[in-house]
Structures are given as C-alpha cells and as structure tokens.
Amino acid sequence: MTQENTTTGKPKRPFFVRRGPMENIATALIAIGFLMLFQPFALVLYTYSLVTLLAGTVMFIIVSKFPE
Amino acid sequence: MAARFKGRAAVSRPVAFSSLLVMPVTDTDTTLLDKAAEKAVRATPVPLAYRVRGLSDRSIAWLFIMPTIVLLLAINIFPLIWAVYLSFTNFRANRPNAEIDGVGLTNYQRVLTDPDIWQAMQTTAHFVFWTILLQMLIGFALAYLIDRKFRGHAFWTTVILIPMMLSPAVVGNFWRFLYQPQIGLFNYVYSFFTGVEPSSFEMLGSVTLSPWAIIIVDTWMWTPYVMLICLAGLRSIPDYIYEAAEVDRASAWRQFWSITVPMALPFIMLAVLFRAIENFKMFDMVVLLTGGGPGSTTEVASITLKREAFESWRTGRASAFAIILFVAVFGLANIYVKALNKVKQR
C-alpha cells in the first residue's frame, strides 16, 4: 500500500464505475429524453427522444447496481 | 383424536400467528387468534398437513406468493414481452391468420416521425402539466385548511371527497351536460360572474377551450385524492416541532416553509407520481367528454394508440407506440423514485 493510499483511505474507483456520477448522467439523459419526447419545437428532437430515453433508462438500471 | 390434533398443531404451529403481529395484542386477541388457528389446523386434511411438515419457512413463503407471481407473469409481464415482439412485426389483429413478417425498427421509425403522433404527445404533456399543477396547488391548500381542525372539518372532508368516489363514466356524462351552451350550468355560472352571454361560447366544441374543459373536469375529480395524501403528510408532522418553532419565535410563514413543506414533501411527491402516471394514460374521461375533438385538439396519446390499434388495425405500430410510452414513464418513475428516496433520507 502506498503512502498516498494510507492517508486518503481506499483508492478511488475509476469514474465509469462510480455510482454517484454515473447515476447523475443517466438521470440527466432520461430527463432530456423526456423533454425531447413532449416538446413542441422540433420534430427532429422528438425523433431522437426514444434513443436518448432508452440509453438513460438502461444506463440507470445498470449503474444503480454499482456499490456506493 | 387428541393426539392426532396435537400432531397437526405441531405441523402448522398456530402460535406463530400471534407472534407475527407487530401490534401489541391483548389476552383476548391471542385467545381468539389461537382459536382461529386451531380451527384452520382442524380443517387441514391430514395428508396435506404431513406434506407441508417437511417444507422450510422459505418454501412455505414461496408457496404463498406463487399464485401472485403467476398472475403477475400472465397478466403483466407476458403481454409486455409480447408487445415488444409485436412492435418489430407487421402483425394486424384483424388478420390473425396472415403471415407475420419482421419489419425491424420500421414501426418505431414511423411512430417517431409522424407529426400527428407528435401532436398527440404535446396534447398529453399539456394535459398532464396543468392537471398536476392545479391539483397539487388546490389539493395542498385544501389539506392545509382541513388540517386546522375547525368545527365540522370531518363533514367537509367527506363532502370534498365525493367527486373522487364517482365513476369516470358518470363524471364524463355529468360534465357534458354541465358544459352544454344552452342548458348547462357551467356557462350560466361563468355568465353570472363575467356578464358574457352563456350561449356565446361552447367549452367542448371550441378548439381553444376544449383542452381546458378536460383539465377542469380532471382537476375537479382528482383534487380530493391529492388532498387526502397531503392531509396524511400534514397529520404526520409532530406538534412538538411547531411548539419548538414557537419558542424560537419563528413566524407562521417561516414555519410553513421550514417545517410544513419539507416534512410533507415526500407525500406531495408521491401524489405527483401517482397522478402523473394516471394522467399519462388518461382515456375514459377524454373519450366521454370530447372523443378527442374538435378535430384532434384533445386527442391524447392513449386515444391515438387506441385508434392505431383498433381502428386502423396497425397492431405492430400501436405496440411500438405503447413501448415508447412505457419507456418514457418507466424512465421518469426511476428518477422520480431516486429523488423521493433522497427527500426521505433528509
């Protein structure tokens, strides 16, 4: 164990396997997808809403299983 | 006989009935429960009792929940998986013997590029946004007033709850009469307060007014439900917190924003979740009031879905549309539950 690890406790997990930030990204994707689905401004946003929503939802289901 | 009964009693362990209760039980209750358990033991056929004897607690638990799981799989999960499958095919329910071909993502592509379906989504969003906003504001205000416990508050609670107890079919027909321009009460009340001629406007026939006509009816019917949930939230706040705030000379305004709202927030959020899910699939009331008209002004997503599935008979495309709605509601419910848990942990 290095000196750095002993002073700061456990070594930090890589960003992509950390639950907190990944859950926030998934939440943002779902919220954006939802707004895209119901907005009245551009048909193209409506067209890509399902992809965004689905990506966010699948990501949320996966990352919510990561340890805290 | 006594020995036989004793053996069966050992199998079913009647004492466990009373030990399962969380509430403290009196001696009389225990005796009654024991008597009921003994009756159940006596009614159990001997071969079944001996068969159950060898099962672990876990197996017995599975045995009890299995009927529910089977029903859930048959009624919810299987149709969902079947709809996902159909959404990738050209299946038409009016031609059950026709050959089913896979069409890939064509159904999704058509739904997501159709301006009419896009319009229906906007109508749904308009309806959901305004009904939730109005129901929350009026429902919370009513709950706050009822919580003051004035004389006759129980009577008024019952009166307020009446619309919620009516069937949507009854409410739809009832409001159609109220909205009649010639004989309807709504137009006359509006005319009384504003001076506008009662027959000069038609709530259900006007392009601009008909979405609001539906919002008014849904708000009238479901505000009591929101009020009830908010009232539960307000009643759960202990009095000593307000007493401590009084001692600290907190104003009524400060108490409302620092105690009442934060402590009732999980309940308010639950009410929003329930009403939002319910209103996304609103169908009956809109059909009864306007049938989606005039034109397609009030055609919400569920009506479009029904027309695709059972009037145009494009079952595959309707399934794709249903899956899109499902993903939207499921995704939103996920993040909403996360937010709700955060609020509860505070």
Kindly state the average pLDDT of the residues B283-311. Answer: 90
* Residue B154: per-residue pLDDT: 87
User: Does residue B339 or residue B249 have the better pLDDT?
Assistant: B249
How many other C-beta atoms are found inside a 10 Å radius of the C-beta of residue A41?
9
Instruction: Give the distance from residue A55's alpha carbon to the nearest chain B alpha carbon, in angstroms.
Output: 10
Considering only CB atoms, which chain B residues are within 8 Å of A50? Answer: 108, 112, 324, 327
Say if residue A40's pLDDT is above 60: yes
Q: Do residues B164 and B271 make contact, with C-beta atoms less than 8 angstroms apart?
A: no
Check CB contact under 8 Å for A43 and B122: no
Kindly state the average pLDDT of the residues B225-243. Answer: 93
Task: Give the pLDDT band of residue B27 (cuts 50, 70, 90).
Answer: low
Could you give the CA distance from residue B237 to residue B255 in angstroms, rounded to a whole number?
A: 12
Check CB contact under 8 Å for B327 and A38: no
H or E segment to which residue B115 belongs:
helix B115-146
Kindly state the average pLDDT of the residues B206-232. Answer: 94
CB-defined contacts A:B, below 8 A: 49
Q: Tens of pLDDT along B91-150?
A: 998 888 888 888 989 999 999 999 999 999 999 999 999 999 999 999 999 999 998 878
> Which of B112, B125, B334 faces A57 most closely, judged by CB atoms?
B334
Instruction: Give the distance from residue B125's alpha carbon to the nearest chain A alpha carbon, in angstroms.
Output: 6
Could you give the CA distance from residue B312 to residue B337 in angstroms, rounded to a whole number?
A: 37
ipTM, two decimals: 0.82
Kindly state the average pLDDT of the residues A3-25. Answer: 71
Check CB contact under 8 Å for A46 and B121: yes
Residues of A in CB contact (< 8 Å) with B are 23, 27, 30-31, 33-34, 37-40, 43, 46-47, 49-50, 53-54, 56-57, 60-61, 64
Instruction: Give the distance from residue B87's alpha carbon to the nearest chain A alpha carbon, in angstroms.
Output: 14
Kindly state the average pLDDT of the residues B281-308. Answer: 90
* Residue B28: per-residue pLDDT: 62
Q: Which residues pair with residue B102 across a beta bridge? A: B89
Check CB contact under 8 Å for B121 and A60: no
Say if residue B6's pLDDT is above 80: no
* Residue A8: per-residue pLDDT: 56
Amino acid at B205: G
Task: Give the pLDDT band of residue A68 (cuts 50, 70, 90).
Answer: confident
Per the rule left: phi > 0, alpha: psi between -120 and 50, beta: everything else, A65 is alpha
* Residue B324: per-residue pLDDT: 94
Considering only CB atoms, which chain B residues are within 8 Å of A23? Answer: 338
Instruction: Give the distance from residue A66's alpha carbon to the nearest chain B alpha carbon, in angstroms.
Output: 15
Say if residue A11's pLDDT is above 90: no
Domains with residue ranges and CATH for chain B? 1-54 (no CATH), 109-345 (1.10.3720.10)
Average pLDDT of chain B to the nearest whole number: 86
* Residue A10: per-residue pLDDT: 66
Kindly state the average pLDDT of the residues B196-204. Answer: 86
* Residue B12: per-residue pLDDT: 43
Q: Which of B289, B302, B283, B62 is closest to B172 using CA atoms?
A: B289
Check CB contact under 8 Å for B121 and A30: no
* Residue B183: per-residue pLDDT: 85
Task: Give the pLDDT band of residue B26 (cuts 50, 70, 90).
Answer: low
User: Does residue B300 or residue B199 have the better pLDDT?
Assistant: B300
Name the pTM for this structure: 0.77
Kindly state the average pLDDT of the residues A32-54. Answer: 93
Say if residue B11's pLDDT is above 70: no
* Residue B111: per-residue pLDDT: 93
Average pLDDT of chain A to the nearest whole number: 83
Which residue of chain A comes nearest to B128, CA vs CA? A38
> Which of B115, B118, B331 faces A57 most closely, judged by CB atoms?
B331
* Residue B10: per-residue pLDDT: 43
Q: What are the structural domain ranges in chain A?
A: 15-63
